[in-house]
Each structure stands twice: as structure tokens, then as C-alpha cells.
Amino acid sequence: MLKRQNPSTPQRSRDLAADGGALSMSHNDSRSFFNLSQLVLSAGQIKPSPALKHSKITYFEVEIVDVQSKKQICIVDKVPPASTILDVKHKFHKACPQWYPSRVGLQLERNGPFLKDSISIQSLAVSSIVTLYFTDLGQQVGWTTFFLTEYTGPLLIYLLFYIRLSTIYDQVESRKNFRHPVVHLACFCHCLHYIRHLLETLFVHKFSEGHTPLKNMIKGCAFYWGFTSWIAYYINHPRYTPPSFGHKQVSYAALAFLMCEAGNHFINVALAHQTNSGNRTCFPSPTYNPFTWLFLLVSCPNYTYEAGSWISFTVMTQTLPVGIFAFLMVIQMSLWAQKKHKLYLKRFYPEVRRKAAMIPIIF
């Protein structure tokens, strides 16, 4: 009989080790799969990574229509939402080079007000197409140029009459007659007034980048230059007679004139300081400077001082042309003061409601 051979001990050990290793590996794989399943179940459903969304910028199309004929002039396309009316004017100028941005007036409605350059297109848009009405504002000039031209003319014109050109006055008569001191004082005060205006235009006032029609500058120059010629002709005439009350009238009027000029300057400096500091949330308040205390009574003390200067100049020279000019200036400045006072009432009602516009009680 054949005997079954028992495997040797080393061989049996290897077989047992192999069987045990296989069982161990199978047990580990099952345990790992179980742990992975528990992890998936506890974490929830596996979500795919979100796809990156590409930001889309919405552009506007601005249709420019002539306000008179209602015909389309051009379409300014691809206007970003953050663009302003000024940006549209520049794009419109590129499409139509004959229309400079300064002379372009754009309206949202035909009879509506002109839109400010700082207004954004997005605030006006109801749809992707914005219709604006175009008006030619004519030749424009900057505000600095406007005031420099308006104030330089009276200064030079008065000096021409003061030196008594032979083409204006009779040369023989000019040499014979003695000039009263008030003539020299009037020249000093008149020049001081317009030199102050020129210096404040350059160094005190901060004008916007807006423009004004050239015809407005022509009208302003005609008014100031014309009246200056009339005033200077009478005051510097060889036959000019001094004021009725003599030295006292001249002295007191000149002192009042200088005080009004100083007050006007300090008020303009205070208003400019408030604008530069960005503190526009409250009404300008008086400071330690006594000339600014007029803020307690009126909302536009600069116009009060300006009117006081011309009234004082009228009393000092006692001439009819100066009186007419002062009367017209008081009327014009009272209208400006009333308009500005209404704006102050909307912005600073509790502080302004008890104040007058320019002259207490009267205006």
C-alpha cells in the first residue's frame, strides 16, 4: 500500500502562511471599503466642482437725437455702465468732430433740463438703449476766462480815463483845472475793487470744469465795460465837482467802501475754505473774524458787502452814473441772493429759516 506522504514541516508552514496572508489581505480590503463607504455616507452626495462663471458686462447704446428735428444724429455704442454724460460727449465728439464736448447739451426729455456731466448712464437707463436729445449750446468759454475778461476790462478802461487821454478830453482844459483829491481816491478804490476780483478769481474761487456760452460773456462785458466808461468819464472829467458835504462825506464813504471790500474778501475766503475742506453738510458759520459775523443775519453776506461797496462809492463820488450802476447791481444781486437762499433753505432749513437773503428784513 502506498503511504500518503505528509508534507514536511517547512512546506506546511509556508502553505499556512500563504493561506493566512490571503485571508488577512481580504479582511483588510473589506475593512477599507467599509470605511470609505461610511465616509461617503457621512459626507453626503458627492457634488461636482462648480464651473467658473464668466462675468458679463452689459453695455449700453446711446442714441443721440436732434432736439428740433427729432432726427437721429448718431448712436454711441458699447458704453459701459459706469460712464458719465461727459464720457458720452467725448464719444459723440469722435463720431461728429464738429461738435465739441463743451458746446453739447444733452437732455433726457425734449423740454427737460440739461444733464450734468457727472451723471452716470446707468442711472438714466431703463433699457439697454438710452435716448438723449442734443442741443447746440454755441461757442463756450471757461468760467475762469469769463471772469478774468469781465473784470480786466473795467480796470484798464478806468485807467485810460484817469490819465485823461487827449482823444477823450480837451488837453488844454485838462491842464488848467486842478484835480480834487476825491478823483485820485476814486481811482484807487475802483482799481482796488477789480484787482480784488481778479486775484480771487485766480487764487480763491474754485470753478467747476463747466463752461458758459460766449454770448453771456459778451453781455457781461458790455454791461461792466460800458458802465465803467460812463462812470470814469464823469469822475475824471476836468469839470467834475466834488461832493456836497466835502471832506467828511468823502472820508466816511471811503472808509465804508474799504470795510465792505474787506468783508467781501473774507466771506469769499470762508466759502472757499468750506468748499475745499468738503464740509458742505452745514451752513457756513461765523468765525473769530468780525467780518464773517454777518452770517448770523443773512445767508449771502458776500452780496451784502458787494452792494455796500457800490453804495459807498456812489456817496463818495456823488455822480449819477455810479448811482444808476449801484441801483442795478443791488437789484441783480438781490435776485442772485434769493435764488441761492432757496437752495440753502432746502439743504440747511433749521439754520437758514430765520435769516434774510441779502439785506435783513428787506430782502
Q: Which of 67, 211, 205 is nearest to 143 (CA)?
A: 211
Domain count of the chain? 3
pLDDT at position 52 over 50: no
Identify whether 110 is part of a domain.
Answer: yes
φ, ψ dihedrals at 301, nearest 5°: -65, -20
Cβ(196)–Cβ(261) below 8 Å? yes
pLDDT band per the 50, 70, 90 thresholds, residue 55 = very low
227 shares a domain with 334 = no
147 shares a domain with 133 = no
130 shares a domain with 151 = no
Identify whether 225 is part of a domain.
Answer: yes
State which residues form the domain around 261.
242-362
Identify whether 163 is part of a domain.
Answer: yes
250 shares a domain with 234 = no
Identify whether 22 is part of a domain.
Answer: no
pLDDT of residue 32: 58
Identify whether 15 is part of a domain.
Answer: no
pLDDT at position 1 over 60: no
CATH number of the domain bearing residue 88: 3.10.20.90
293 Rama sector, left if φ>0, alpha if ψ -120 to 50, beta otherwise = alpha
118 shares a domain with 78 = yes
219 shares a domain with 254 = no
- Decide which of 241, 263, 292 is a domain's last residue: 241
118 shares a domain with 180 = no
pLDDT of residue 17: 44
Please state, for a pLDDT cut of 90, what percent of the chain lies above it: 56
248 shares a domain with 231 = no
pLDDT of residue 363: 47
135 Rama sector, left if φ>0, alpha if ψ -120 to 50, beta otherwise = beta
213 shares a domain with 103 = no
Beta 129-136 vs 60-66: how paired, if at all?
Answer: parallel
- Decide which of 241, 268, 296 is a domain's last residue: 241
- Decide which of 138, 155, 182 is a domain's last residue: 138
Average pLDDT, the chain: 84
Between 184 and 278, where is the model more confident?
184
For 271-283, what is the mean pLDDT?
A: 73
Tens digits of per-residue pLDDT, 200-239? 999 999 887 678 899 999 999 999 999 999 999 999 999 9
104 shares a domain with 175 = no
Tens digits of per-residue pLDDT, 294-334? 999 999 999 999 999 999 999 999 999 999 999 999 999 99
pLDDT at position 26 over 80: no
Terminal Cα distance for the chain, rounded: 145
246 shares a domain with 348 = yes
78 Rama sector, left if φ>0, alpha if ψ -120 to 50, beta otherwise = left
Q: What is the pTM of this model?
A: 0.77
Identify whether 55 is part of a domain.
Answer: no
352 shares a domain with 268 = yes
